[in-house]
Amino acid sequence: MPESLEANLEAVRRTIGRSAARVERDPAEVLLVAVTKMFPVERIREAMAAGLRIFGENRVQEALPKIDEIGPVGVDWHLIGHLQTNKIKFIEGRFRMIQSIDGAALVEALDRRLRSPLDVLVEVNVAQEPQKTGVVPADLPTVAAAVNAAQHLRLRGLMTVAPMVADPEAVRPVFKGLRVLRDQTSQQLGTALPVLSMGMTDDYAVAVEEGATMLRLGRALFGPR
């Protein structure tokens, strides 16, 4: 196994530990989703050997051959990119979680196709960037209620992709905003929503301080694509 992956993972864990300590959190509450977009199966196997078990892919068509080669045992695959309705037929039995639910129509189509329960997150475009997917905060109650009412979907929490900025402190309000929206949604639905998937390579230290329970890291673990 390349030393760099182990060294990178150790550096990530140290950063998580420092961030968690600053806000008196247990770093064990923070799960790593290794983002394997554009990385080959060999790198995924190296990550598995280093103890990583959750892998995130952005596109169904890129994920399928990797999932089929590695198999489902001991690994959780998350779809973290936009799910097109024509790819829904490939989800069941392959993905453990869809992090990118972004509309009531997708909820309906997914629920209609599934035969077994699937964990999902609603993706919220907290910063309301026009080029990004995700529901705007005003539409969150409607979409969350649709997921909650679906027969086969289990709403576990919320996800966001923060704007790309030079200073990670600039996106702290985005992470704080997602946490507030999660708490409001949990209260409205009367159900626990434990997952906050927020924070990527450039801003994950701040995300941990604001309550992230899942970090989606590619470059921080694997190096440049």
Label residue 79 by pLDDT band (50, 70, 90).
Answer: very high
Q: What value does the mean pLDDT of the chain take?
A: 96
Pairwise CA distance, residues 60 & 131, whole Å? 20
pLDDT at 225: 81
Contacts of 221 (CB under 8 A, 6+ apart): 5, 8, 9, 12, 32, 34, 35, 47, 52
CA distance 53 to 31: 10
Mean pLDDT on 30-52: 96
Give me the mean pLDDT over the 62-88 stretch.
95
**Whether the predicted pLDDT of 1 surpasses 60:** no
What pLDDT shows up at residue 147? 98
| Residue 25 Cα to chain centre, angstroms | 20
Model's pTM, two decimal places?
A: 0.96
Residues 174-211: tens digit of each pLDDT: 999 999 999 999 999 999 999 999 999 999 999 999 99
**pLDDT over threshold 90, residue 71:** no
Provide the pLDDT confidence category of residue 3 given band limits of 50, 70 and 90.
low
Question: For residues 87 and 68, is the Cβ–Cβ distance under 8 A?
Answer: no
**pLDDT tens sequence across 88-111:** 999 999 999 999 999 999 999 999
* Residue 34 to residue 173: CA distance in whole angstroms: 24
The mean pLDDT value for 146-152 works out to: 98
